[in-house]
Every structure is written in structure tokens, then in C-alpha cells.
């Protein structure tokens, strides 16, 4: 059964034919620029939460070092975006976390079967909030379209159900651009649309694999 990460798959859910062609190329090449861009702040947030808020200045210094060492044409923008997101988390979300439980940044799960695909992806970490509830945290930093975000969160909610022992209501979407919770609920219509897209993408991948096998 073909594998797919929920990030590129979510981009296909509302895409037209031309966008499909472009995004399929990106998927095949394994590009993940958006993920790499905000990797420093995700790691920093997990580190700060695990340390119960201690060492914030040193963590910010590490973000700056990572971004500067990586370089690139937009490194200054990347630096400010990551630092600003970190400061938003520290001010608006950290006080509402009672206890850190586990990081998922480097955890590899077996995958969740859906629409003929094995889906990968997951929340960034797990905490206990101030109401003593287990929450699966997704750090939303990049600016996505509302449709793409809805599809991504639907797929993420599915994975939380199947792979992380929770349900969609445990998903805590922290909008680090606005400094507030992003309100979201699982939607049956969106899940059907995601499944239809997964089935179409699965057929495409299987056809590509069969074509390559018949043309060695």
C-alpha cells in the first residue's frame, strides 16, 4: 500500500488539475520547505515546555544560531518568524500547560490506513492542560489557506484517533501567528472529501508503480 504524508495530501484535497500536477512533482521530489522553515521554533517550543519554562533566553539564542548557520536568501525573515512564534507560544500558551508529557517531533509511527494509503504525520507533542486534560498539540505557524488547513486538521485528527490513542477533541491547535487557539472540529463531509482524494492519489501511485514495473 502506498505511503503519503498528510501535509502534501491535504494540499491535493481542494486542488485543481494544474495544482495537482505541480504538487505531485513536489511530493515525488520529497520537498518539505515549509516544514524546514519552522523546524527551529518547533524544537524550541518542545524544549521550553519540557523544561517548564526555564532557559528561554538560551533557547532563543539557539534558534538564532540554527537559522544563521543554515543561511539562505531569506535567513533574516526566517529568524524573525521563528523568534516571534516562540515568543507568542511563551506568552499565550505556555501558561495554560500544566505538564509536558511527550515529544513527537522525531517519533515514527507505523502509519494509518486511509483510502488506500498509509498516512504518516502527527501532532508535535503531548501535554496536560490546566483543566487536567491530555492534549495533542499542533503548532500552526505558516500561513495556509483555510481549505488546506481544514483538510490537514481533518487528517491529523484521524491520525490522533488511530495512532495516538486520542480523538479529534484532544487536538490543540496553537496559532502562533495570532497568539490564540484555532477553533476546529472534525467534519464528516471534509473527511469524505479527504478519503476521495486519498483513493485517487493511491490509484495514481499504483498506476505509476505498475508502469515502472512493466518498463524496466
| pLDDT one-digit tens code per residue, 63-103 | 999 999 988 888 999 999 999 999 999 999 999 999 999 99
Distance in angstroms (rounded) separating the CA atoms of residues 145 and 68: 29
Looking at residue 179, what is its pLDDT?
95
Looking at residue 127, what is its pLDDT?
98
Looking at residue 195, what is its pLDDT?
97
Distance in angstroms (rounded) separating the CA atoms of residues 47 and 166: 23
β-bridge partners, 120:
5
Specify the higher pLDDT residue, 85 or 213. 85
Distance in angstroms (rounded) separating the CA atoms of residues 167 and 149: 18
Residues 6+ apart with CB under 8 A from 182: 140, 149, 173, 174, 175
Read off the pLDDT of each residue in 49-68 and give the average, rounded to a whole number: 97
Give tens-digit pLDDT for 151-182. 999 999 999 999 998 889 999 999 999 999 99
Q: Directed axis angle between helix 75-92 and helix 39-50, to 10°?
A: 30
Q: Is 133 helix (H, G, I), strand (E, B) or coil?
A: coil
**Which residue is associated with the grid cell 524573525?**
80
pTM of the predicted protein model: 0.90
The neighbour count for residue 164, using CB atoms within 10 Å, is 21
Q: In Å, how far are 4, 88, 158, 192, 204 from 197, measured between CA atoms? A: 12, 34, 15, 9, 11
* Local structure of residue 164 (DSSP, 8 states): S
Q: How many domains does the chain have?
A: 1
Looking at residue 214, what is its pLDDT?
52
Tell me: pLDDT of 213 over 60: no
Tell me: pLDDT of 31 over 70: no
- Where in the sequence is the domain holding 103, given as residue range(s)? 3-214
Amino acid at each position: 500500500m502506498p505511503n503519503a504524508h498528510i501535509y502534501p495530501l491535504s494540499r491535493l484535497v481542494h486542488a485543481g488539475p494544474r495544482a495537482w500536477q505541480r504538487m505531485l512533482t513536489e511530493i515525488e521530489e520529497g520537498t518539505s520547505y515549509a516544514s524546514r522553515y519552522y523546524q527551529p521554533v518547533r524544537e524550541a517550543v518542545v524544549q521550553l515546555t519540557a523544561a517548564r519554562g526555564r532557559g528561554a533566553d538560551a533557547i532563543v539564542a539557539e534558534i538564532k544560531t540554527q537559522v544563521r548557520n543554515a543561511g539562505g536568501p531569506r535567513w533574516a525573515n526566517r529568524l524573525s518568524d521563528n523568534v516571534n512564534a516562540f515568543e507568542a507560544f511563551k506568552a499565550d500558551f505556555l501558561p495554560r500547560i500544566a505538564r509536558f508529557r511527550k515529544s513527537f517531533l522525531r517519533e515514527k509511527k507505523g502509519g494509518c490506513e486511509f483510502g488506500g494509503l498509509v498516512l504518516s504525520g502527527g501532532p508535535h507533542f503531548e501535554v496536560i492542560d490546566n483543566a487536567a486534560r491530555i492534549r495533542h498539540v499542533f503548532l500552526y505557524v505558516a500561513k495556509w489557506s483555510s481549505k488546506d488547513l481544514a483538510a490537514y486538521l481533518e487528517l491529523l485528527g484521524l491520525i490522533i484517533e488511530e495512532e495516538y490513542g486520542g480523538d479529534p477533541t484532544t487536538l490543540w491547535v496553537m496559532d502562533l501567528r495570532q497568539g490564540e487557539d484555532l477553533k476546529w472540529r472534525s467534519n464528516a463531509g471534509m473527511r469524505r472529501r479527504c478519503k476521495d482524494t486519498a483513493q485517487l492519489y493511491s490509484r495514481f501511485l499504483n498506476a505509476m508503480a505498475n508502469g515502472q514495473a512493466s518498463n524496466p
